């Protein structure tokens, strides 16, 4: 039995999809355990880009099982659209399994997401307006509709009617908005359920049976640790737990069955939306990194905020997610810079701290303390092992590992599969 969890260690967009795709080659089951279609991952296969939001990266391996776990919130409309997209590209989805316990995102969740964000005014948290938060709210309030309910016509209608009474009261009385009719939702979404019915099962049985039978299982996280609702920059976070601990809740696999946690990060930092970002760059260096790194959101298309590598953030992620191995991506983006910087600590009101404060007010006052390293000018996109990197790039990689306190198992110098280089296998 070997199980590996892949988590983002920053604010998402670290390249988890690529690393998951890379590690999937040696896995037999690949599962997602949290989030929804609010996060996108891009996989490049033979030079062709595939952008997915719900379906695990392992779908491109027809001999492997891909699982949408119970901890996810699923928009059936988006899922059917994604399945159609894959079919049109010649990708089979017979290997997909969807948890019957996963919760469903419905149009009223998306509308509520939009209205709540608008009502916040200048205090917007930067939601993707995908209905993720409201769906998790319903789950916690025990009024959510699950995939199992969606497949039963009578139960689906009954629960939909019940929920619309409350939601429409909110829309009309609190937000002065138009109510949603059950006729606008019921038949359309029931039909979506029928289109995905063939994939629906108790995925916890599949995952545990696989592990008990000695198979290799890969768990794929969405977003990143710094967007975790408990451990991230609250309230500028997602509504689920991307940390490795979220696997046990979101997949139905016990903690004793988790072996390794791979933390994925970029050689710099990026963030979409609002919230604290101590190392953010507002100068031409930041603009250069954004353009060279193509830093635009997969889901939103919004320009990402970019900044230097923050080892304070990374140590926080290592601690709360139990990271055992590091995957360092996008080293090539820093090529051509005379100097590269790493944040090693913060200055908070004249005091040096090496932890990430929970208080947003304190974070606003935190100033990054940088260590400067000489840059490199060489094109490294063709490098296939660590020793072939220019000395300065090699020193940068080693310094990142030292500051984070985790050994690097893979590093990448471009978006392609062939540009991901193994230093140490996590499948052991």
Give me the DSSP letters along 4-41: EEEEESSSS-SSHHHHHHHHHTT-SEEEE-SB-TTS-E
What the block records as the tokens of 20 is 């998951």
Task: Record the pTM.
Answer: 0.92
> pLDDT class for 58, splitting at 50, 70, 90?
confident
13 is catalytic: yes
Please give the average per-residue pLDDT across 164-192, as a whole number: 94
- Residues 220, 223, 229, 230, CA torsion sign: positive
Domain 2-98+200-261 is found in CATH 3.40.440.10: yes
Tally Cβ neighbours within 10 Å of residue 338: 9
Determine the pLDDT at residue 100: 99
Three-state DSSP at 423 gives coil
The one catalytic residue among 37, 41, 113, 167? 41
DSSP calls for 36-80: -TTS-EEEEETTEEEEESSS-GGGG-TTSEEEE-TTBEE-HHHHH
What pLDDT, in 10s, does the model give residues 260-280?
999 999 999 999 888 999 999
Query: In degrees rounded to 5, what are phi and psi of residue 281?
Result: -105, 135
Stretch(es) of the chain classified as CATH 1.10.300.10:
104-195
b/e 132-165 (16+ beta carbons within 10 angstroms → b): bbbbbbbbeeeebbbbbbbbeeeebbebbeebbe
Judge whether residue 382 has pLDDT over 80: yes
> pLDDT class for 135, splitting at 50, 70, 90?
very high
Tally Cβ neighbours within 10 Å of residue 202: 15
Domain 104-195 is found in CATH 1.10.1740.10: no
| Annotated binding residue 303 | yes
Residue carrying the six token digits 């000695």: 214
Determine the pLDDT at residue 215: 97
Whole-angstrom distance, CA of residue 109 vs CA of residue 167 = 9
- In the chain, % of residues over pLDDT 90: 83
173 is catalytic: no
| Annotated binding residue 93 | no
130 is catalytic: no
Task: Provide the CATH topology of domain 265-422.
Answer: Adenylosuccinate Synthetase; Chain A, domain 3 (3.90.170)
| Annotated binding residue 339 | no
Q: How far is CA 31 from CA 136, 188, 343, 353, in A?
A: 19, 27, 33, 37
Whole-angstrom distance, CA of residue 415 vs CA of residue 152 = 42
The one catalytic residue among 103, 130, 139, 341? 139
The one catalytic residue among 13, 21, 138, 149? 13
| Annotated binding residue 301 | yes
| Annotated binding residue 15 | yes
Stretch(es) of the chain classified as CATH 3.40.440.10:
2-98+200-261
Please give the average per-residue pLDDT across 322-340, as a whole number: 97
């Amino acid at each position: 039995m070997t199980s590996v969890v892949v988590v983002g260690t920053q604010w998402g967009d670290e390249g988890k999809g690529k690393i998951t795709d890379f590690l999937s080659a040696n896995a037999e089951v690949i599962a997602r355990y949290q989030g929804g279609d609010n996060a996108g991952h891009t996989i490049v296969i033979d030079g062709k880009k595939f952008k997915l939001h719900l379906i695990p990266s392992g779908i491109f391996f027809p001999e492997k099982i891909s699982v949408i776990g119970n901890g996810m919130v699923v928009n059936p409309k988006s899922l059917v659209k994604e399945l159609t997209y894959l079919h049109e590209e010649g990708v089979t989805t017979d290997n997909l399994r969807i948890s019957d316990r996963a919760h469903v995102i419905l149009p009223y969740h998306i509308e509520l997401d939009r209205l709540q964000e608008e009502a916040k005014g200048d205090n917007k948290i930067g939601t993707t307006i995908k209905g993720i938060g409201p769906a998790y709210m319903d789950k916690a309030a025990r009024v959510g509709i699950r995939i199992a309910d969606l497949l039963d016509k009578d139960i689906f209608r009954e629960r939909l009617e019940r929920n619309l009474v409350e939601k429409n009261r909110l829309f009309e009385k609190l937000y002065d908005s138009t109510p949603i009719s059950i006729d606008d939702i019921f038949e359309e979404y029931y039909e979506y359920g029928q289109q995905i019915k063939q994939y629906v099962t108790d995925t916890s049985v599949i995952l545990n049976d696989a592990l008990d039978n000695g198979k290799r299982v890969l768990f794929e996280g969405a977003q990143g640790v710094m967007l975790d609702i408990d451990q991230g920059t609250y309230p500028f976070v997602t509504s689920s737990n991307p940390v490795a601990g979220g696997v046990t809740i979101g997949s139905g696999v016990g903690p004793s069955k988790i072996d390794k946690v791979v933390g994925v990060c970029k050689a710099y930092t990026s963030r979409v939306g609002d919230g604290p970002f101590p190392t953010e760059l507002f100068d031409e260096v930041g603009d250069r990194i954004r353009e060279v790194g193509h830093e635009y959101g997969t889901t939103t298309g919004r320009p990402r905020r970019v900044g230097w590598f923050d080892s304070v953030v990374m140590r926080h992620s290592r601690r709360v997610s139990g990271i055992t191995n590091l995957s360092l991506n996008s080293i090539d983006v820093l090529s051509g810079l005379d100097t590269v910087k790493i944040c090693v600590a913060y200055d908070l009101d004249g005091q040096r701290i090496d932890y990430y404060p929970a208080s947003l007010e304190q974070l606003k006052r935190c100033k990054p303390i940088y260590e400067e390293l000489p840059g490199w000018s060489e094109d490294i996109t063709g490098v296939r092992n660590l020793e072939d990197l220019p000395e300065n790039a090699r020193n940068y990689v080693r310094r990142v590992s030292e500051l984070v306190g985790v050994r690097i198992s893979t590093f990448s110098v471009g978006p392609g599969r062939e540009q991901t280089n193994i230093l140490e296998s996590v499948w052991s």
